[in-house]
Structure 1
Amino acid sequence: MSEVTDFIALDVETANADFGSICSIGLVHFRAGEVFKSLTILVDPEDDFDPVNIGIHGIRPEDVAGKPTMARVFPVISAALQDTAIVHHSPFDRTALTRAAGKYGTGGLPCTWLDSLQVARRTWTGFRDDGGYGLANLARAFGIQFKHHDAAEDARAAGLVLLRAMSDGGVTLQQWVDELGYESTATSKPLRRTKPSYATKCAQSGAATGPLAGETILFTGALQIHRAEAARAAAAAGCDVVDSISRKVTILVVGDQDLRFTRGQEKSSKHRKAEEMITRGHAMRIVGETDFMAMVSG
């Protein structure tokens, strides 16, 4: 890439806890430090909608009926994002697009990604103990008005947070891309199938740096990799790992088969408790094991 001065902020919403179930994409083009244009794309995820997700973003199956699938959307946005800096807040949006690309065999987006959450953590030290680095808390602190969980609105807020960080920290977009940027990928390492373990205590502190630094993670359900191995991977990526559900938890990782009610099985108590906390406004994401592995393997 040549010198990076402009960027596109991006956010996605999903129909359920499977990151590949994208139902909305928001794209906001920033040019010369200002919003140039904005676009929202509704997507048919070809998947079920979970009431928890509907409660978060308000998108229902009838809203996406007849809309294009990601198989059609990817070629369009791929051309628009060629050799572009894409700003996203947290690894979830990049991981969702990676999962959707794998689902439809379309390949990754030809761009460089920059996580505004990581930029914020390196720019301002005070938010870790003052509400955290979630988009809503940062926007509130900086007077950014937006409608949370509307994809284009979230993307715009992420871009404005980045601009504020560039101003406060005196760091250019190119410098942030050089330090934290990474290329898109549509592949992830295969899961290693081992006997699931439920009893292992996994609590440990995360590394000071890493793509998930500052997050607190909890595992529940039957994982295909050993729980202790998953915990080590999370800690290496920067997560603090805990063994019980609380308001400190920002990521709950569940077995892929436990993302929905299937074959009469019920979600774990931790899973149900997390959904209750989310509906009450707690900033937590429920992540399937495959998505978790994509996040920590980068």
Structure 2
Amino acid sequence: MDFTAIDFETANSSRSSACALGLVEVTAGRISAEHVWLIDPQQRFDGMNISIHGITPSMVHGKPTFAELWPTIEPLLKGRVVVAHNAAFDMSVLRYCLDGETLAYPEFQYLCTYILGKKMLLDLPSHKLNVVSQHFGIALRHHDALDDARACAAIMLKLMEQEGQWDPLLLAASRGYQSGKMYAGGYTPFSVPKKPKKKRAVKELPSAASRSVTG
């Protein structure tokens, strides 16, 4: 029951503009460590993004860039099962930040609690982080990177408890999902495995000899 939950916040609509990262380590079903960083994206801040997460340019002034933080972050992700709520967003932020600095991708598997929640919590009107957190009674300051990562970790633990399943990868597989993967040179998304296409039966035409007999 070991995994790492993460959450990125961005300065603007560009996925390469990470300005905060929350990371929560879960060991044997309990939170064992928490980390949070403000990041200088070296990009402009949009008012819309500031209104969502409250991070301003002055707050990241003098903070490390993503490239400067990466040697600290990478060992916390490499070889782990990584979990995010709406993992498509957080994984793309990670990839764009790595690509922008020409840094190699680490190898890990990842899961999405948003997609799992949609599959497992059918009665909820929405599966946004704040809605699922409220459903499970999880305290949340939404769009605070550490609090979002902490809530994501708690949601994964609740989903595993609900199913009596203590391995996040097996939980995903039991619901028909294949873990996403990041690896040197590429990635695959968290998804439902594609079923192999059935081969179409080819109808054999009668031979010339048989046509002459029957005709």
Alpha carbons 2:4, 2:25 under 8 Å: kept: yes
Partners of 1:50 and 1:165 in 2: CA distance = 35
Alpha carbons 1:117, 1:133 under 8 Å: kept: yes
Partners of 1:177 and 1:121 in 2: CA distance = 12
Partner of 1:147: 141
Superposed CA RMSD in Å reads: 2.2
Alpha carbons 2:4, 2:80 under 8 Å: kept: yes
Summarize deviations over 1:89-110 as a string: whole Å, max 9, x none.
0111111111111111112232
Query: Could you tell me the TM-score, scaled by structure 1's length?
Result: 0.59
2:33 to 30, 33, 37: 37
Partner of 1:160: 154
Partners of 1:57 and 1:212 in 2: CA distance = 29
Partner of 1:101: 98
SS in 2 for 1:113: strand
Q: Which has the larger radius of gyration?
A: 2
Shift of 1:167: 1.0
Q: How does 1:1-298 map to 2 (within 5 A)?
A: 5-90=1-86, 91-127=88-124, 130=125, 132-171=126-165, 172-176=167-171, 178=173, 179-184=177-182
Equivalent AA in structure 2 for residue 181 of structure 1: S
Distance change >3 Å, CA 32–CA 26, structure 1 → 2? same
Partners of 1:175 and 1:122 in 2: CA distance = 15
Partners of 2:185 and 2:48 in 1: CA distance = 28
Equivalent AA in structure 1 for residue 73 of structure 2: I
Equivalent AA in structure 2 for residue 174 of structure 1: L
Unaligned 5+ segments in structure 1 are 190-209, 214-298
Distance change >3 Å, CA 63–CA 93, structure 1 → 2? same
Partners of 1:14 and 1:187 in 2: CA distance = 24
Deviates more, 1:109-118 or 1:154-163: 109-118
**Where does structure 1 differ by over 6 angstroms across 4 or more consecutive aligned residues?**
186-189
Partners of 1:59 and 1:187 in 2: CA distance = 32
Partners of 2:118 and 2:148 in 1: CA distance = 18
Query: Could you tell me the TM-score, scaled by structure 2's length?
Result: 0.80
Q: Sequence identity, in percent?
A: 31
Summarize deviations over 1:156-186 as a string: whole Å, max 9, x none.
1011111111111233323035543121157
Summarize deviations over 1:182-208 as a string: whole Å, max 9, x none.
21157679xxxxxxxxxxxxxxxxxxx
Alpha carbons 1:19, 1:100 under 8 Å: kept: yes
Partners of 2:66 and 2:183 in 1: CA distance = 16
How many positions carry a matched residue from both structures? Answer: 187
